[in-house]
Amino acid sequence: MSSDLANITILVVEDDEDTRELLQTVLTEAGAHVVTAASVEAALASYRTAPPDVIVSDMRLGSSDGYNFITAIREYNKEYRGFTPAIALTGFRYPGDEDRAMQAGFNGYIHKPFKPEDLILTITRLLREQRRDAA
């Protein structure tokens, strides 16, 4: 599994330090270069400096949330004609949340606790779809 995400940069947006470290470990062991942010503000600054290949974002982020974050990312994408696949990560299961996340601009949705292989498979699927759509 150490090369599944080789040469891929992933921005992890997670305000819980333990979960952020877990995500970083899982994705690094799969071969990815991982950049982390603990807030929407830090994530947007990181994204604008060096857009990653994929985003994995928690949905509840302190004073903000994943919906505000992905909305800002998609506006930035329109302005600069880019696109970055994004996965919503949540510990809550409310009816309609997945649909709302997808309508907001996420491309994948994963519940916590998650299986590392499910996260990696979702990332590789999104990257494969992006490459196919670009061709």
Judged against a pLDDT cut of 60, whether residue 124 lies above it is answered with yes
Break the chain into its structural domains and give their ranges: 9-127
- Cβ(61)–Cβ(89) under 8 Å? no
State yes or no: cis peptide before 113, omega within 30 of 0.
yes
Judged against a pLDDT cut of 60, whether residue 100 lies above it is answered with yes
Query: Mean per-residue pLDDT for 23-52?
Result: 96
The pLDDT of residue 58: 95
Judged against a pLDDT cut of 90, whether residue 22 lies above it is answered with yes
CATH assignment of 9-127, among 3.40.120.10, 3.40.50.2300, 3.30.70.890, 3.10.20.30: 3.40.50.2300
Judged against a pLDDT cut of 60, whether residue 29 lies above it is answered with yes
Residue written as token pair 């996965």: 87
Q: Residue 133's pLDDT band (boundaries 50, 70, 90)? A: confident
Taking the CA atoms of 45, 50, 52 and 53 in sequence, report the sign of the dihedral they define.
positive
Judged against a pLDDT cut of 70, whether residue 51 lies above it is answered with yes
What are the tokens at 41?
Answer: 């503000």
Question: What residue ranges in 16-85 does DSSP mark as E strands?
Answer: 33-37, 54-58, 60-61, 64-65
Residue written as token pair 């990560």: 89
pTM over 0.95? The answer is no
Alpha-carbon separation of residue 34 from 4, 50, 55 (angstroms): 14, 12, 10
- Cβ contacts of 13 within 8 Å, gap of 6 or more: 36, 37, 38, 39, 40, 43, 55, 56, 57, 58, 61, 66, 69
Cα 41 versus chain centre, distance: 15
Average pLDDT, the chain: 92
Query: Mean per-residue pLDDT for 54-72?
Result: 92
User: What is the tens place of the pLDDT at every residue in 68-78?
Assistant: 999 999 999 88
Query: Mean per-residue pLDDT for 28-40?
Result: 97
Residue written as token pair 């909305």: 71
Judged against a pLDDT cut of 60, whether residue 2 lies above it is answered with no
